[in-house]
């Protein structure tokens, strides 16, 4: 039987052997040991100046909180310094293979949360900076964060380098494993609570496993009902969000009283427009809840100063609350170095990047563009505020537990990259040996030196009055 005209125009994907050969050829142009080198380039931008430029579009009254949080320690500074490291990474070697990047893959941006099937999963959980780009950038951000956090925890250089090399090895081995798997099998892969326990038990024994079990149980209790207890109160018979300025400020306290009704109407309009980004069945779910109150909420470290809101909604009765977080999405810190990407709406950029990288995410993720009271149109993404949350106290990790956590993060990042990058070529580039692992450990240590210097520059800017820092909240 003759082939149809349509079938004759279909093309076969590149052969696995060709992709593997491309990965090995890339070693000639960019040897794996080249990733070990980090030196601040001549003319490197002032790190505090980078933060000040970010501040130009943020809420001015909240900036002292951001600087105060970043000043607390070198690791706290690192968490808020994604824009600084993005500029530094732009000058580092690239093997030539792109994938969807988290853009801020430090170890505190990994953790547990509830999947749609109500099972606790471990995954990346912050995608504010996501864009397509070189896979190395995420891995180096993760590696450097381990070195910086290890210093904060009082670990010696050998212990820190073991943790970084462990993350690199887990990433490399995961990528090589995924390179042998079918495409759907890669997308089905996930790390469950049982997988976390198995990894921790193998490294830290029963005491470490007991600690993780406790944290998992605590995570499962941090849900919308817990948020309802912590964040709401009754005033004159009406449920409202608790005021806790400057961290949580109800909208009624931010605008004159005559404008309160207008704010309430605007919130309803925003929620209605946001649901247009959802599937029809999910749109029906959100529309079955009635918004009651809205407040500005300060979150994280690097995000402080962006316009972030929490919306209290009720469904059937007070036992059925829903909290939505409406979070401003400025352009990614990677944009200046990699280009804008395919999405004009920055909120959609975040949502689509998260969907590409996470094994399973929040069903209610959506986006919107809307104008604030100042008339300026801004992009936002929307998600559930609390839907279980598992995290570790990074500063309290000993050497063994930091290495175990590094292994979880490395595997997870490898799985996230395998979904959108050429996992066969990247696996071939990385190889079976530990050349890249050793290189990353060396680079991470020298970058931690740079981060220490940048943190000191921030402290000096506070001391001289160049910037104001509030460490009380």
Is residue 34 within 8 A of residue 94, CB to CB? The reply is: no
- Residues 168-189 have pLDDT tens digits of 999 999 999 999 999 999 999 9
Is residue 295 within 8 A of residue 255, CB to CB? The reply is: no
| Domain definitions of the chain by residue range | 14-220+393-463, 224-384
Q: How far is CA 270 from the centre of its chain?
A: 25
- Residues 93-121 have pLDDT tens digits of 999 999 999 999 999 999 888 777 778 88
Using alpha carbons only, give the angle 41, 437, 444 rounded to the nearest 5 degrees: 35
> 366 has which bridge partners?
382
Tens digits of pLDDT across the chain (473 residues): 455 555 556 677 889 999 999 999 999 999 999 999 999 989 999 999 999 999 999 999 999 999 999 999 999 999 999 999 999 999 999 999 999 999 999 999 998 887 777 788 889 999 999 999 999 999 999 999 999 999 999 999 999 999 999 999 999 999 999 999 999 999 999 988 777 777 767 666 666 667 777 677 666 666 777 788 889 999 988 899 999 999 999 988 887 655 666 666 777 788 889 999 999 999 999 999 999 999 999 999 999 999 999 999 999 998 899 999 999 999 999 999 999 999 999 999 999 999 999 998 899 999 999 887 677 899 999 999 876 676 777 777 889 989 989 999 999 999 999 999 999 999 999 999 999 999 999 999 999 999 999 999 999 999 999 999 999 99
> Looking at residue 193, what is its pLDDT?
77
Query: Residues 6 or more apart from 313 whose CB is under 8 A from it?
Result: 289, 290, 291, 292, 321, 322, 323, 324
> Looking at residue 1, what is its pLDDT?
46
Is residue 411 within 8 A of residue 114, CB to CB? The reply is: no
For the full predicted model, state whether its pTM sits above 0.85. Answer: yes
Tell me how far apart the alpha carbons of residues 96 and 421 are, in angstroms, rounded to a whole number. Answer: 11
Is residue 95 within 8 A of residue 343, CB to CB? The reply is: no
Query: Residues 6 or more apart from 233 whose CB is under 8 A from it?
Result: 239, 240, 242
Q: Which of 78, 113, 81, 190 shows the shortest CA–CA distance to 391?
A: 113
User: 3-state secondary structure string, the chain?
Assistant: CCCCHHHHCCCCCCCHHHHHHHHHHHHHHCCHHHHHCCCCCCCCCCHHHHHHHHHCCCCHHHHHHHHHHHCCCHHHHHHHCHHHHHHHHCCCCCCCCEEEECCCCCHHHEEEEECCCCCEEEEECCCCCCEEEEHHHHHHHHHHHHHHHHHHCCCCHHHHHHHHHHHHHHHHHHHHHHHCCCHHHHHHCCEEHHHHHHHHHHHHHHHHHHHHHHHHHHHHHCCHHHHHHHHEEEECCEEEECCECCCEEEHHHHCCHHHHHHHHHHHHHHHHHHHHHCCHHHHHHHHCCEEEEEEEECCCCCCECECEEEEEEECCCCCCEEEEEEEECCCCCCHHHHCCCCCCCHHHHHHHHHHHHCCCCCCCCEEEEEECCCCCEEEEEEEECCCCCECCCHHHCCHHHHHHHHHHHHHHHHHHHHCCCCHHHHHHHHCCCCHHHHHHHHHHHHHHHHHHHHHHHHHHHHHCCCCCCCCCC
């Amino acid at each position: 039987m003759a082939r149809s005209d349509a079938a004759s125009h279909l093309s076969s994907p590149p052969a696995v052997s060709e992709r593997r050969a491309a990965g090995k050829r890339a070693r000639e142009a960019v040897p794996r040991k080249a990733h070990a080198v980090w030196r601040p380039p001549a003319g490197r931008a002032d790190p505090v100046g980078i933060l000040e430029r970010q501040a130009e579009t943020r809420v001015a009254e909240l900036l002292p909180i951001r600087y105060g949080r970043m000043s607390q320690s070198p690791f706290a500074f690192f968490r808020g310094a994604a824009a600084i490291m993005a500029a530094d990474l732009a000058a580092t070697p690239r093997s030539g293979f792109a994938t969807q990047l988290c853009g801020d893959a430090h170890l505190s941006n990994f953790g547990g949360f509830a999947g749609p099937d109500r099972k606790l999963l471990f995954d990346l959980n912050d995608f504010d900076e996501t864009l397509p780009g070189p896979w190395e950038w995420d891995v180096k951000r993760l590696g450097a964060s381990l070195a910086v956090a290890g210093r904060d925890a009082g670990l010696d250089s050998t212990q820190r380098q073991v943790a970084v090399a462990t993350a690199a090895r887990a990433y490399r081995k995961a990528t090589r494993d995924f390179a042998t798997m079918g495409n759907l099998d890669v997308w089905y892969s996930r790390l469950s609570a049982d997988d976390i326990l198995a990894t921790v038990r193998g490294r830290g024994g029963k005491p470490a496993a007991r600690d993780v079990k406790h944290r998992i149980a605590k995570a499962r209790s941090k849900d919308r009902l817990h948020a309802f207890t912590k964040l709401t109160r009754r005033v004159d018979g009406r449920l409202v969000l608790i005021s806790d300025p400057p961290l949580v400020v109800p909208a009624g306290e931010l605008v004159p009283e005559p404008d309160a009704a207008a704010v309430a109407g605007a919130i309803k309009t925003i929620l209605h427009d946001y649901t247009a980004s959802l599937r029809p069945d999910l749109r029906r779910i959100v529309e079955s809840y009635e918004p009651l109150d809205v407040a500005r909420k300060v979150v994280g470290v690097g995000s402080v100063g962006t316009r972030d809101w929490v919306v209290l909604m009720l469904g059937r009765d007070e036992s059925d609350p829903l909290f939505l977080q409406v979070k401003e999405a400025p352009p990614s810190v990677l944009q200046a170095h990699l280009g804008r990407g395919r999405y004009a709406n920055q909120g959609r950029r975040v949502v689509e990047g998260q969907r590409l990288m996470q094994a399973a995410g929040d069903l209610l993720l959506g986006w919107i563009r809307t104008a604030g009271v100042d008339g300026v149109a801004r992009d936002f993404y929307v998600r559930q505020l609390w839907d279980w949350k598992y995290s570790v106290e990074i500063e309290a990790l000993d050497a063994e537990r930091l290495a175990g956590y590094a292994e979880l993060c490395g595997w997870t990042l490898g799985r996230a990259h395998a979904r959108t990058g050429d996992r066969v070529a990247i696996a071939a580039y990385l190889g079976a040996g530990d050349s890249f692992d050793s290189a990353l450990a060396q680079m991470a240590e020298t970058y931690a030196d740079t981060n220490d210097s940048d943190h000191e520059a921030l402290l000096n800017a506070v001391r001289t009055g160049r910037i104001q820092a509030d460490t009380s909240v």
